[in-house]
Amino acid sequence: MKIEDIYNFLNLISPFSLQENWDNSGLILGNMKDDFDEICISLDIDFELLQKISNGTLLITHHPLIFSGLKKINFDNYTTKLLEIMIKKDLKLISMHTNIDKTHLNRFVMEKILGFEVLNENDFILNAKLAQISFDDFYDLIKDKLGLEFKKVVKCSEYVNSFSLTTGSGMSLLPSITTDVFLTGDIKYHDAMDAKMRNISLIDIGHYESEIHFNSVVYAILEKYLKKNKIIAIMDKNQNPFEYK
């Protein structure tokens, strides 16, 4: 199969044109006319993954390996070191980032992982209502569903009637939140101060923890297509770069 075949199929399901203007989703390494026999689906690329996969494999990742323009390729940083290995192994790379966040990933986490119905959505933000519950009980529910190993919250009220979800890093969206609690990752100190001023509680659901389901989402999209075309697909479960004590 050629890259353009799988690219066009993915583009029908989750159009790359939906990505944010700062994003770099799409074909990042390789040529549309390149052939491949295997696919590896992964949240990220790391050294261990590149050692395991076969030459000529097509990788489909959530996070683009290249975000902004490269002026030098000295093989001395995370991106270029991995690119060196990938080029030598004739690997190809397609990334589906903010486009699949909008079309699939946020909804999958809200409905399939957390078990809540989407009331409405606004681009990256999905909103839900629930029967009134204490903030502490709500946190315990979210912790169990997402397997959180840490507690990082901003508690502005004792009870929760509604919440919003954005997987990954969504604190730039805080001014658009209209619910009691915002669930997202990578919450910083000044984000917390801003949220307290707005009287919006926060639960940090982690970047890795909220997006690791990307693999399952993409595999489900591709499963029948790959079987039909006799393409081998594997999923790699990256390790969280953080350790919690």
pLDDT the model gives residue 37:
86
50 within a domain of the structure (yes/no): yes
Nearest to 173 by CA among 195, 148, 143: 195
Angle (CA) 225-226-228 rounded to 5° is 65
Q: Are residues 104 and 37 in the same domain?
A: no
Q: Which domain holds residue 81?
A: 3-96+211-236
Residues 197 and 105 in one domain: yes
Q: pLDDT band for 237, please (50, 70, 90 cuts).
A: confident
For residues 174 and 115, membership in a common domain is answered with: yes
Are 106 and 193 found together in one domain? yes
By the 10 Å C-beta count (0-12 exposed, 13-18 middle, 19+ buried), 17 is classed as exposed
Report the 10 Å Cβ neighbour count for 186: 14
Pair 91, 104 in one domain: no
Residue 119: inside a domain, yes or no?
A: yes
Matching residue, tokens 């799409």: 26
Residues 199 and 218 in one domain: no
* Helices and strands (H, E) in the chain, number of each type: 9, 11
Q: Do 86 and 114 sit in the same domain of this protein?
A: no
Please indicate, yes or no, if residue 244 is contained in any of the structural domains. no
Task: Answer whether residue 83 is part of any domain.
Answer: yes
Residue 240, burial from CB neighbour count under 10 angstroms (0-12, 13-18, 19+): middle
> In the chain, how long is the greatest CA-to-CA distance?
57
Q: What's at 185, amino acid-wise?
A: G
pLDDT digits (tens, 9 = 90+) for 28-55: 999 999 999 899 999 999 999 999 999 9
**Which CATH number fits the domain that encloses residue 185?**
3.40.1390.30
Q: DSSP 3-state assignment of 97?
A: coil
Structure confidence by residue, pLDDT tens digits, 8-32: 999 999 999 999 999 999 999 999 9
Confidence of residue 72 (pLDDT cuts 50, 70, 90): confident
CB neighbour class for 151 (10 Å; exposed up to 12, middle 13-18, buried from 19): exposed
In a domain, 124, yes or no: yes
Tens of pLDDT, residue by residue over 130-186, are 999 999 999 999 999 999 999 999 999 999 999 999 999 999 999 999 999 999 999
Q: Are residue 145 and residue 224 in the same domain, yes or no? A: no
Helices assigned H by DSSP within the chain: 3-13, 47-52, 78-88, 98-100, 106-108, 135-146, 189-198, 207-211, 214-228
Q: Are 91 and 105 part of one and the same domain?
A: no
Q: How many domains does the chain have?
A: 2
Mean pLDDT for 119-137 is: 96
Residues 121 and 55 reside in one and the same domain: no
pLDDT (0 to 100) of residue 231: 87
Q: Are residues 69 and 91 in the same domain?
A: yes
Instruction: Give the per-residue pLDDT at 73.
Output: 87
Nearest Cα neighbor of 15 from 122, 103, 108, 92 is 103
For the chain, what is the mean pLDDT?
95
Position 245 in a domain: no
Distance, C-alpha 236 to centroid of its chain:
14
Q: Is 241 domain-assigned?
A: no
Say if 193 falls within a structural domain.
yes
How far apart CA 115 and CA 233 sit, in angstroms, is 28
pLDDT of residue 86: 97
167, 184 contact by CB (below 8 A): yes
Q: Each residue of 194-224: pLDDT tens digit?
A: 999 999 999 999 999 999 999 999 999 999 9
Task: Verify that 152 and 119 share a domain, yes or no.
Answer: yes
